[in-house]
């Protein structure tokens, strides 16, 4: 029998909440983290709204030393370290000062582009012949594995410490990679997660592609509208989520709280064939990803109670719903509940999969389905496949047993992980 893998800790840095308590309350109440962004306005972006975590100096100083913060300029690493350390401590694990590493613990913490703000600062200082003023942490902040390296050092991790990068699928992929390392017997616990930098140097390319909304600059909280007939593109966002995955035997041995079980999942690619491109999904690959995830998890499609979709508020939302219907062979009122956290936090890009996975596990653990805000006008492409009752616009209190979380990213890459309410 393969090892059972459970989640014993979580951490979150999201646009609508920092920490599990604030975030849980926010998603239950449908609180939006989208706001007008003066910097995007100044730079003449079409989209002048964004969703960024609200971190104060006092909070940040609780995770980084004064020396580390000197010349520090990487929001993505900052978000990831805070979420990761919170997940570690939430799992009841000590931050050890031992001389020896913890050989039984590691991290796979993903990102898209690390320290892009630091890159920009570096370019200007080099051009101004001020290279020496960059500080000793410029490399650590701009290397892609900077976030996992910081976490590895702060937590003393002695097993695999690495960073994955698969566009919007990154966070879901990190969970599956951590899961697979644990079931292989190579490690007892892995900190899985992902993060994304904030700001115009990350979001500019998407604005240029015209995939960001520009119709709600005067009403920011209405801007992110997954599955809505009036959706006009995604709201750029940022943040980080972290989940501590652990061998069940290890979790029981130390009497850890268990949020949920990871049953399995799947990662694949459409190869940019069969309608798939750099920016559009191969529908067959999406359906295969879902069906193979169910097979790997050992469950039937009829057992899924809820789905936390990718659903970005672009023209592909209808296709995603169609793919779910075909993969599960469920439709109308027989379809599971489905929601999109992006309605509240925008699209956190490489951080999205992990931020949304934290929200998914919270629903299983506490027994609720969070509402889809800004979705009172359901898109006809979606209502033709599933009943509106399956897309809640108000909080539903209900015990859930099995939830599927999926992410689909640029490069025609897909990920689906299956979470289950833990039962001994």
Tell whether 35 and 110 lie within a shared domain: yes
Residues 332 and 252 in one domain: no
Tokens of 271: 């190869």
Q: Is the pLDDT reported for residue 137 higher than 90? A: no
pLDDT of residue 127: 66
pLDDT tens digit string along 14-66? 999 999 999 999 999 999 999 999 999 999 999 999 999 999 999 999 999 98
Q: Measured between alpha carbons, how far is residue 75 from residues 32, 35, 42 in Å?
A: 20, 18, 20
How many angstroms separate the CA atoms of 410 and 312, rounded? 12
Per-residue pLDDT at 97: 82
- Residues 222 and 368 grouped into a single domain: no
- The whole-chain average pLDDT of the chain stands at 95
For helices 20-29 and 352-366, the axis angle rounded to 10 degrees is: 80
Amino acid 363: pLDDT: 98
Q: Is the pLDDT of residue 133 over 80?
A: no
Q: Examine the domain organization and report whether 227 and 356 are in the same domain.
A: no
CA distance 153 to 251: 23
Token digits for 406?
């999926």
154 and 37 within one domain: yes
Percent of the chain with pLDDT over 70: 98
The domain containing residue 219 runs over which residues? 5-260
Boundary residue ending a domain (228, 260, 292)? 260
Judge if 299 and 231 occupy the same domain. no
φ and ψ of 371, to 5 deg? -75, 150
Do 28 and 167 belong to one domain? yes
Same domain, 250 and 290: no
The total domain count for the chain is 2
Query: Do 12 and 117 have their domain in common?
Result: yes
Q: How far is CA 177 from CA 83, 109, 180, 267, 291, in A?
A: 18, 10, 5, 9, 18
Which pLDDT value is given to residue 267? 98
Q: What is the DSSP string of 222-233?
A: GS--TTBTT--S
Question: Could you tell me if 342 and 296 lie in one domain?
Answer: yes
What is the predicted pLDDT for the residue at 54? 96
Contacts of 101 (CB under 8 A, 6+ apart): 156, 157, 158
Using CA atoms, how far apart are residues 156 and 172, in angstroms rounded to an integer?
A: 24
Give the CATH number, domain containing residue 248.
Answer: 3.40.47.10
pLDDT at position 124 over 90: no
Looking at 260, 288, 320, which one is the last position of a domain? 260
Q: pTM to 2 decimals?
A: 0.96
- Please check whether residues 183 and 279 belong to one and the same domain: no
Q: Do 250 and 269 belong together in one domain?
A: no
The span from the CA of 203 to the CA of 310, in Å, is 18
């Amino acid at each position: 029998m393969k090892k059972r893998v459970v989640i014993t800790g979580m951490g979150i840095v999201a646009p609508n909440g920092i920490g599990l308590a604030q975030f849980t309350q926010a998603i239950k109440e449908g609180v939006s983290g989208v706001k007008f962004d003066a910097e995007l306005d100044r730079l003449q972006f079409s989209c002048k709204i964004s969703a960024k975590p609200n971190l104060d100096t006092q909070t940040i100083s609780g995770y980084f030393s004064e020396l580390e913060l000197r010349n520090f300029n990487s929001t993505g690493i900052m978000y990831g370290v805070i979420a990761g350390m919170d997940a570690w401590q939430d799992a009841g694990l000590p931050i050890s000062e031992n001389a020896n590493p913890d050989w039984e613990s590691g991290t796979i913490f993903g990102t898209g582009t690390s320290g892009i703000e630091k890159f920009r600062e570096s370019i200007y200082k080099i051009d101004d012949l001020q290279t020496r003023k960059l500080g000793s942490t410029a490399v650590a902040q701009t290397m892609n594995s900077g976030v996992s390296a910081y976490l590895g050092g702060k937590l003393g991790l002695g097993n695999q410490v690495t960073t994955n990068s698969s566009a919007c699928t990154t966070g879901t992929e990190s969970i599956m990679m951590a899961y697979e390392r644990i079931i292989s017997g190579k490690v007892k616990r892995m900190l899985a997660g992902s993060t994304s930098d904030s700001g115009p140097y990350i979001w500019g390319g998407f604005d240029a592609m015209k995939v960001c909304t520009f119709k709600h600059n005067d009403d920011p909280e209405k801007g992110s509208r997954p599955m809505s007939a009036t959706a006009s593109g995604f709201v750029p966002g940022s943040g980080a989520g972290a989940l501590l995955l652990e061998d069940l035997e290890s979790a029981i041995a130390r009497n850890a709280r268990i949020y949920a079980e990871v049953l399995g999942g799947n990662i694949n690619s459409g190869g940019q064939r069969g309608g798939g491109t750099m920016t559009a999904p191969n529908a067959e690959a999406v359906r295969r990803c879902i069906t193979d995830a169910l097979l790997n998890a050992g469950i039937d499609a009829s057992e899924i109670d809820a789905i936390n979709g990718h659903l970005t508020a672009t023209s592909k939302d209808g296709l995603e719903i169609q793919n779910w219907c075909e993969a599960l062979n469920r439709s109308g009122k027989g379809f599971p509940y489905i929601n999109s956290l992006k309605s509240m936090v925008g699209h956190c890009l490489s951080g999205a999969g992990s931020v949304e996975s934290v929200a998914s596990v919270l629903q299983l653990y506490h027994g609720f389905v969070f509402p889809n805000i800004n979705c009172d006008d359901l898109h006809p492409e979606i209502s033709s496949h599933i009943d509106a009752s399956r897309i809640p616009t108000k909080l539903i209190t209900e015990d859930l047993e099995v939830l599927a979380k999926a992410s689909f990213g640029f490069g025609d890459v897909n990920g689906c992980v299956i979470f289950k309410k833990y039962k001994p």
